Structure 1
Amino acid sequence: MNYDKVEDTFFEAFKGRYVRAIITGPNKEIVKQAAYDSTSTPGAVIGRVEGGVEGFLDKNQTPDGRDGAIVQYWFGSDDLEKFELELSYRIRQDILVKPFTRVFNYNDNPEGFIGMEKQVGNCGDGYEWKVNEFNKTMIDVPIAVPDFQIEEKLAYSEGIMGANFWYMCDSEEAVLNAGKIAIEEILTVEGTCAPFGICSAASKPETNYPWIGPSTNHYYCPSLKDKLGNISKVPEGIKYIPEIVINAIDEDSMKKAVKSSIDAICDIDGVKIISAGNFEGKLGDKTYKLLDILR
C-alpha cells in the first residue's frame, strides 16, 4: 500500500467507559431502527452518552434466537451515576418504544455493572417484574405492546474514545464514496464503532461561545480559506475535510480499524490527503502517529 497521501501527523485519543449490548427484535428492520436510533446522537463533548453500532447478528448468534445488533454506548466521565441516567434515556426513548425488543448484556470482561431497574425497569411504574429466561435474569417492563425486556445489569469497561482521521477531498462524490467504504470497513472490526459516521464538523476545544461547547475548527473550514488568509490550514485544491471518529474496546481493535479503513480509501479518486485532528497533544490522554499504525 502506498501511503504518500498520508501526512506525518497524529491523533489524540482518551479513555472512556463503554457499555456493549445486544438489541434483539422480531425482524431486521426493527432491530436496525432501534440500534441506529439509540446511537444516533454523539454527545460525549457535551457530557452525554455517545453511541455507535458495532455490527449486526444472525438469529443463531443472539441469546433469544432473533435478529440482533451489537451496540456500544460510551461516556467520557467517571461519574457512573450520570452514565446510568444518560444511558437510560437512550434505552427508554429509542429501544423500549420499539415493538418486541429486548436488550442483553454483551461484555465478557467487565469492570463493573450498571443496574437497569432504577432508570429503565421503573418505566413499568412499579408493575415490572423479573423473570429467568435465556439463562439470564431479565426485567419485564409491561407496555402497551407486551412487553419490553432488558437484562437486569449491563456491564461497563474502559476503552478508547476519539481516535480519528481526516480524508481531504476535492469532490462531494469522494466524500460520500470514501466515507461509506471507511464505515463499512470499521463495521467489520470487532469491538469498534464510528459514532459520528461521516463527520463534517471538526471542532476545537477553545470557543468564543463557551456555553455551546466546542465550536467549528475554523482553520480547517474550506469556505473560510479566503477570509482567513495566511492562518487558514486548508491545503490548496481541497474543498472538503470530512472526519471519521473511532471508539474501540481496546487499543489493538482501534489500530486495526484505523488501518483497514484508511487502506480501503487511500487510492480512491478525489481523496487527496489523509490527515488527523489533534490539538498538539493537549486534549487526549494518548497520541498515535498515523504512519506508525499504517506501517
Structure 2
Amino acid sequence: MKRFISIAVSIIILSIIYSKIDLQGLADIFLNSDRFWMPVSLAMVIPITLFTAWRLQQLMPKSTYLGFAEANRLILAASVLNMVLPSKMGDIAKAYFMRERGHLSGSLSLSLVVFEKSCDLLSLLLWCVFGLLLYPQKDLLFWTMTLGVTIGLLVGLSILGSRKFADLFFRIIRKVAPNKIKEKVKKLQISWAQMHNYFWSDKRQLVKISATSIFIWFLHLLQIWFFILALNAWAPFMSSLALSPLAILAGLLPLTFAGVGTRDAALVIFYEPYFDATVAAGLGLLCTARYFLPAIGGLPFLGQYLTTIKTMKQSDISEY
C-alpha cells in the first residue's frame, strides 16, 4: 500500500510541474541537447558504479573475499530491487548475499551496509555544506538550509565517531518511535555498535572508505552538472555543488517513489536563478535516469538475487 501511495504522490507532483511548463519546449530541449555532454553525462553511471563496487570490496573483512565483478553485479542487482521493493529490500538482500559469500555473520554484513549508506549520506551532506557556504546568492532561506544541513552533518559525524553519542541517539529514537518500529531501531542500534567496533579498530581503513565515499559523491554531483551542460543550460559549478545535494536530499524524503516528484520540484525551485522550469524539468528526468540506468544494468543479474531472496528463511530475515 505504501508503494502505491508513494507512486500516487509522485504522479500528482509531476502533474503539477508538467502542467506549468512547455511540453513541446521540453521535447525540443532533448532533441537539441549537446551531442557530446549528453552521452558523457549518462555514461558517468559507469565510473560511479565501479568505484562503489570497489568500496564494497574494501568494506569486507580481510579474512573474506568479494570479487570485483561480483561486487558490481551485487550493486546493480540491488539497484533493481531498491526500485521495486519497499524498505530498501535490495540493500538487505545485499547484506544477506555478502553473508553467504563472505562467511560473515548476519549482523556484521548488515553493519557493513549500514556503514556504507551512512558514508553516502554524510558525504552528500558534506558536499552540500561546502557548496552552500560558497553559494553567492544567500538569503534567509539558504542560511536556514545551511544551518539545518550543517547540524545534520555534525550529528551524523557524532553518531559515527562517538559510541556514547550513538547509544544516546538511538535511545531517544526508541522512546519517541511508534511501537511497530522500536524493534527495528533496536536491531539497528546493535548493528551500529558492531559496525563502530569493526571500523574504528582499523582507522586507516576507516579513512580510506570515508575518502572514497566523498569522491564517489563528487562524481555524482559532477554528473548532475554535466546534465546541465547536456541540456545546453548553465549554472556555475560551485552553485550546482550547493543546489544539487539539496535536491537529492529532497528526493530522499519518504514521500514519493524513488524520489520522483519531490526531487523534480526541488530542482525547479533551486535552479530558478539560472534556467527556467522547462529546463529544470529536463534536468529532473536526467536525474531520475541516474537511478534507472543502474537498475536496467542489473536486470540480467536479477534472477540470481531473486532466488537469493526466495531462499532467505524467516530466521534469516529476522536477523536483519
> TM-score interval w.r.t. the shorter chain?
under 0.3
The TM-score normalised by the length of structure 1 is 0.24
Structure richer in helix, relative to its length: 2
The TM-score normalised by the length of structure 2 is 0.22
Structure richer in strand, relative to its length: 1
